[in-house]
Structure 1
Amino acid sequence: MQIQVHSDNHIEGSARLVEWVSDSVASKLARFDDELTRIVVHLHDDNGAKAGAQDKRCQIEARPKGLQPLSVTHKSETLEQAIDGAIEKMHHALDHQFGKMRSKRATPLQADETGDIPARDALLEEDFLAEERLRAL
């Protein structure tokens, strides 16, 4: 998984900041490493040099393999809180996205209104049972 960090003119994009943000994202989203191609982090200070409540913003865009990108945004008073909040939101979004996909793949065979397994699935079941009988011999 590739991680890119971008900041606006009001936030000094030092190498130390980029490394800290990259490490935070990588460690907290590590379980999705094989399913993502890239994560892009955008850091903004909405009010520039002026102080203001919740004027720090972190937007994270994740690009899952073969799927549409996911994007989350979190605003806070400090950059650290904005980053942590956005990472947490992204973790939940990815968990939800991949959880839905896993549940669709793991759906058990459904019986129809009469209680029978559909014909295609019944044939697969017959093949499986025939192979099991051959192995038992």
Structure 2
Amino acid sequence: MHIQVNTSNGIANTEGLERWAADYLNEHLGRYRQDITSIEVQLSDQNHGAKGGIDKRCMMEARIAGRPPVAVTNEGADQDLAFRGAAEKLGRALDHALGKLDRKEHRERETIRKDVDTLPQ
């Protein structure tokens, strides 16, 4: 799963931010690793550096193999709250989108279940 972080409007895009974002998303959305090809994150400061209010915005878009992308947006008082909120929203959106797919057609997935006939007696 490829993760790309973009920033604008006064938010510094550092290597540490990209590494932290990738680690966080891999941990929280790892159960979708087989379905997601990439996630794009866009962090921005809505009021361009002025203090106060809910002014940080995080947009996340997950690209799913063979399906339309899933996108969410969250705003917060700081970039951490905006990012974490967007990650939670993306998880729920993916649950919804991929849960529907599971109900309509069987997806090829890894499983921990084993065929009972092949287990040693």
TM-score with structure 1 length normalisation?
0.75
Give the residue type in structure 2 aligned to 1:80.
D
Query: Take 1:52 and 1:45, find their aligned partners in 2: how far apart are those partners?
Result: 11
Identity of aligned residues (%): 39
Aligned to 2:32: 32
Q: Deviating runs (4+, > 6 A) in structure 1?
A: none
Give the residue type in structure 2 aligned to 1:93.
A
1:78: Cα distance to partner?
Answer: 1.1
> How many residues were matched structurally?
106
* Structure 2 residue 22 is matched with structure 1 residue 22: yes
Aligned to 1:63: 63
What RMSD, in angstroms, separates the aligned Cα atoms of the two structures? 1.0
Give the residue type in structure 1 aligned to 2:81.
Q
How do 1:45-56 residues align onto structure 2 when only pairs under 5 Å count?
Answer: 45-56=45-56
Query: Take 2:25 and 2:9, find their aligned partners in 1: how far apart are those partners?
Result: 22
Q: Is the 8 A contact 2:57 2:74 kept in 1?
A: yes
Query: Take 1:19 and 1:49, find their aligned partners in 2: how far apart are those partners?
Result: 24
1:91: Cα distance to partner?
Answer: 0.2
Of the two, which has the highest radius of gyration? 1
SS across alignment from 1:62: strand
More helix by share: 1
Query: Take 1:21 and 1:51, find their aligned partners in 2: how far apart are those partners?
Result: 24
1:9: Cα distance to partner?
Answer: 3.7
How do 1:1-137 residues align onto structure 2 when only pairs under 5 Å count?
Answer: 1-105=1-105
